[in-house]
Structure 1
Amino acid sequence: MVSVLTGLGVVGWSGIAAIFVLLAGLTVWQQSRGRSDDDDVMPIPVPLPTPAKPVASTRKAPPAGVAMAGGPGTDGQATMLNDGSGPIDHSHLSPWEAHKLAVERRAEAFAKQRGSVVLKVIHHEFDEYVDGDTAIEAIDIIRTAPADAQIDVILHTPGGIASATQQILHALKNHKGKKTAFVPYRAKSAGTMIALACDEIVMGSSAVLGPIDPQYAWMPAPILAELTQQKSADRISDEMMILSKMAQQAVTEARRFSCDYINDAHKTDGTCDLTNDLINGGRNHDYPILPEEAQKFGCNITTNMPDLVFGICQPPPKDDPVLVVSMFNTQQKEGEAPAPAPAPTKPPVFR
């Protein structure tokens, strides 16, 4: 033991001491960074304008550990909104809180300009979609709005659960006031159905809608439903037989409720041909339907998208990577694959 200690020499011990000093410095830096992040989330004493109408958000927050893409107005500086309401001092907010504040200010300004109740169905991440929580928030804002209030639905979503979507469609259908859907970028699948439930759809010039064929067990239900017609029963497993039967039910239900809830403004011939085509039209579920094609379907669509709506649908900022130093021996041995790099810490996201 003594020989090992003395054998390191001055240079060896100096190197070890430098490593420990570096580790201690990194620890202190990360602790101070954590305190700084905590300070950033303190509310800013800037009064917000009172909206003329209530504004609701149906954005579902994904679990911690999910990073999000960056967007404008989140650099921690004062940002001038294009609604004429003046600058917002973001210097005391975290990037995510600053983004949230900017989006809410834009939504409030849009509601004031339109004299409407704004309902946001906005999803950015892969595990965000129309679900039960989305339905509850949407139903509550619609049922508490004045009976003749104009509802503006801002959509940016990949789709969602059929039963939750049907609840939102039912609430929209029973509302007597005008309903307008705004799709600046995308409203696929269930989002397309929500848009079709409105009297008018306003799309960005490059925005997309999509087919509304149900997906069952991660497979397109119309194709899965035909399995029993393509193969004899003795060549199909019990599990696939059950899935095929359930897919047939899903397609039948989708045809019925999509036809029931589509707004008359999009039924040029008064039939269910449009929704049936969007379910069984032979298109891939991710097929993009641009405004020009949607207009050819007979949908009541315009492309005069207000700039504020583009701002409302901007994604939150990405997180900053954090340096991670391991004190364990990670030296690669001969013949072994290199060890994977540690994943960066992800920030919590806001609702």
Structure 2
Amino acid sequence: MQGGSFFDIFWMLIIIFSLWPLFQQKNIEWARLRLIRKIEEKRKSRVITMIHRQERLAFMGFPIMRYITIEDSERILRAIRMTPDDMPIDLILHTPGGLALAATQIAAALIKHKSPVRVIVPHYAMSGGTLIALAADEVIMDPNAVLGPLDPQLGQFPAPSVIKAYQIKKAGLKDETLILADVAEKALNQMKNTIKKILMAKGKDEKQAEEVADLLTCGYWTHDYPLTVDVLKEIGINVRTDVPDEVYDLMELYYQPTATSSVQYIPVPYGEPKKENVPIKKPH
């Protein structure tokens, strides 16, 4: 009996430790939903999040990287359909980018929504995330947050660079290179036209939209170049920097890498030091 009891306890501990990450994940998800609801009540809007951080699988704890997928666009389109025409949308974005198809679908759906659409970027929204941000009536960014260029990527090569290489050296190229250059030209034109349509739908005239679309796609910057708030304002994007505090709180509820972080600090805000009235001792 004693042996049986010991093994019962042993297996019970194994089950608890195996399921603990799942319980922890569910607890985090409930906390996120409560905070999202709080933001909705405060801002009188539908809050949608697309936050791609490195997360842990619920069972084994292995980290996985995420990006914009067709599944993301499907869920966001469903959330938009469930939102009344007279209710604003706040889309919180934190993403390295992803599939152009998915990002284009999301942007098109946001444009069609009849009430104001605000995209909130607490840290970064690169590539496809930037395309989605362009479809908003307002982009609300942290003063240090960034967006990114929209030059199409063909595997490991940016489309503008492929076209430039083809123009410099046309003779003696392999068929594969010629095909790649043709696809790159098509991808570049498609992205330019998509950006132009989005910007014109948001009130830009055709010339302004053409200039911004060309700047974002032509390879003037590398694909990972950070477009800061100042740069975005210079090119005519409607940007504000008053990110709600609750959005920062929400970001804290997303898993971080499982390894020990290389960044550490005391997680409390510091204010101005209080001046204490220290009595001055008179010399004897």
Question: Secondary structure at 2:209's aligned position in 1?
Answer: coil
Q: Which structure carries more helix by proportion?
A: 2
Match of 1:261 in 2: 198
2:231 to 278, 282, 293: 293
Q: 1:29 to 1:211 in 2, by over 3 A?
A: farther
- 2:129 aligns with 191
TM-superposed CA distance for 1:208, in Å, is 0.6
Structure 1 runs (4+) greater than 6 angstroms displaced: 27-30
Partner of 1:240: 177
Q: Which runs of 5+ in 1 are unaligned?
A: 1-26, 43-92, 322-351
Q: Please say which structure displays the higher CA radius of gyration.
A: 1
Alpha-carbon deviations, 1:308-335, whole Å to 9, x = none? Answer: 11122333144489xxxxxxxxxxxxxx
Equivalent residue number for residue 111 of structure 1: 40
CA distance in 2, matches of 1:171, 1:147: 12
Distance (Å, rounded) in 1 between the aligned partners of 2:209 and 2:221: 20
Contact 1:201–1:301 (CA under 8 A) maintained in structure 2: yes
Any idea what SS the aligned residue of 1:121 has? strand
Aligned counterparts of 2:167 and 2:256: Cα–Cα separation in 1: 49
Q: Deviations over 1:104-131 (max 9, x none)?
A: 2211111111111111111113741111
**Partner residue of 1:34 out of 14, 19, 32:** 14
CA-based RMSD of the aligned residues comes to 2.6
The answer as to 2:125 corresponding to 1:145 is: no
Identity rate, percent: 31
Are the aligned partners of 1:147 and 1:177 in contact in 2 as well (CA < 8 Å)?
yes
Are 1:167 and 2:101 matched, yes or no?
no
Which residue is 2:26 aligned to? Answer: 97
Q: Mapping of 1:195-210 within 5 angstroms?
A: 195-210=133-148
Partner letter of residue 119 of structure 2? A
What TM-score, normalized by structure 1, do the two folds share? Answer: 0.64
Deviations 1:73-117 (A, max 9, x none): xxxxxxxxxxxxxxxxxxxx42x3332222222111111111111
- 5+ residue gaps, structure 2: 1-6, 55-63, 261-284
Residue-pair matches, total: 244
Cα distance in 2 for partners of 1:201, 1:147 equals 20
Q: What's the TM-score, normalizing by structure 2?
A: 0.78
Contact 1:198 1:263 in 2 (8 A): no
Q: Do structure 1's residue 157 and structure 2's residue 75 form an aligned pair?
A: no
The alpha carbon displacement at 1:297 in A equals 1.5
Match of 1:251 in 2: 188
Q: Distance in 2 between matches of 1:210 and 1:239?
A: 29
State how far apart, in whole Å, the 2-side matches of 1:319 and 1:270 are. Answer: 45
Deviations, residues 36-88 of structure 1 (Å, cap 9, x unaligned): 2355368xxxxxxxxxxxxxxxxxxxxxxxxxxxxxxxxxxxxxxxxxxxxxx
